[in-house]
Structure 1
């Protein structure tokens, strides 16, 4: 074989390899097309598919909502816990809150409230700006389970955000845990809990332990005696995209 012919063969072979690489790998899974969801018009605004739980006007979607004070587009904690009338399973939850501008008390007695997922797993709300307390009880902690990775708290009276991704635990017919729950918390744009595996129901006086419950449960906001403010609360229920393998060729 001449040198020119040999060179031509090598070029063709290299071109074939390049062509094979360009074709790429395919999984063979048939995916449904992801639906289009318009995002909110501004940061923190509810996307098109969100369930708005509080828009600053009323708490009609909450049990005991009439017990809280509503003014100037926000709600002030008063008298009782409030719980959503509707139940939810796996979701993305957005909550905005502000601890009291006038600082009173210290530790757990300063701007205390909480967001309870499935009505039992608490993401702590607390004024943790220059306020020392036990670490698994400060703001953005999974209460008595896991401290936040960092303290991203703003000062008293300033509006703060929680963006929470929650996967509910699953229980079998025998009521035994088959899959633990998981929580991710983004506090003021900072990831402070990263897919944390819940160890059970939040208790103050005993260790957390799972109690069987349906995947869909209400969300609860806590009255702990402090006039914490809430506004702009919404959620998106999460449904994973599920693909399927094509039928085998006969």
Structure 2
């Protein structure tokens, strides 16, 4: 009998050790904390502040006419090249410009694009109120996904990777080239779309150059993914996409646009 028990001792010891080891491992796994939920502020930063560069003076009615091979997306007459969330673009057209109508949603081109040169002019209202991100906020989304920020950044402090001319939450502008409210600003954007492999993985990232009022503010920047307000950039396979303009729906007065044209590259 004693011999039989002595043979069983190692078995019970090993079984007990395995039990306690497994229980300890499970307990350790249970104690691993969940990652903190992402918040918008986690991807914002305020320094260094891009220096201010004053654009050269131009007449207020001066516009860059489209070249012969350009597609005109807004000619001052109507929004027939654009659509809204319910089909029709509901922003207002008057005196050769169109203006955001708060609460009606974003608008986007009916046509889709890949690589292009985009020309767009926008104006912050002369009597704009508010501060930070709540002062003339809108955005231009390449392929409906990658945002170049629109904002009143004339004497208006905010996080630098969210000021006018930033690739939103990724790259601040090289300099602050904003004209004051009531004056027209010009963006000329050269955009190369990302390419994807058949399995959905990234082959080559998107690149973008932005010239504001004749001043380079993004120089062939390589995007690390999309431009979310909350969370980190990532790429998801897609094809051609529209030019989208944002209805930010903040309490400040809405901004206006004119003279929009595009050239496929």
TM-score range, shorter chain: 0.7 to 0.9
Aligned to 2:31: none
Residues 97-138 of structure 1: per-residue CA shift (max 9 Å, x gap)? 001211211000001000000101000000000000000000
| 1:233 alignment partner in structure 2 | 260
Using the alignment, how far apart are the partners of 2:241 and 2:139 within structure 1? 16
Residue of structure 2 equivalent to 1:66: 89
Instruction: Indicate the structure (1 or 2) with the bigger Cα radius of gyration.
Output: 2
Structure 1 residue aligned with 2:174: 149
Unaligned segments of structure 1, at least 5 residues: 1-41, 239-250
1:53 aligns with 2:78: no
CA–CA distance in structure 1, aligned partners of residues 243 and 213 of structure 2: 21
Residue 224 (structure 1) aligned with residue 248 (structure 2): yes
Q: Distance in 1 between matches of 2:229 and 2:108?
A: 19
Unaligned runs of 5+ in 2: 1-61
Q: What's the TM-score once normalised by structure 1's chain length?
A: 0.77
Aligned-pair RMSD on alpha carbons?
Answer: 1.1
Q: CA deviation at 1:211?
A: 1.1
**Distance in 2 (alpha carbons) for counterparts of 1:236 and 1:140:** 20
Is residue 136 of structure 1 aligned with residue 161 of structure 2? Answer: yes
Equivalent residues, number: 196
1:77-116 residue pairs with structure 2 within 5 A?
Answer: 77-78=100-101, 79-116=104-141
SS of the residue 2:175 aligns to: coil
Ranges of 4+ aligned residues in structure 1 off by more than 6 Å? none
State the secondary structure of the residue aligned to 1:108.
coil
Give me the whole-angstrom Cα distance separating, in 2, the residues matched to 1:177 and 1:188: 33
Q: How many angstroms does 1:236 deviate by?
A: 0.2
Alignment of 1:209-220 (within 5 A): 209-214=234-239, 216-220=240-244
My pick for the range that moved more, 223-232 or 189-198, is: 223-232
TM-score (norm 2): 0.72
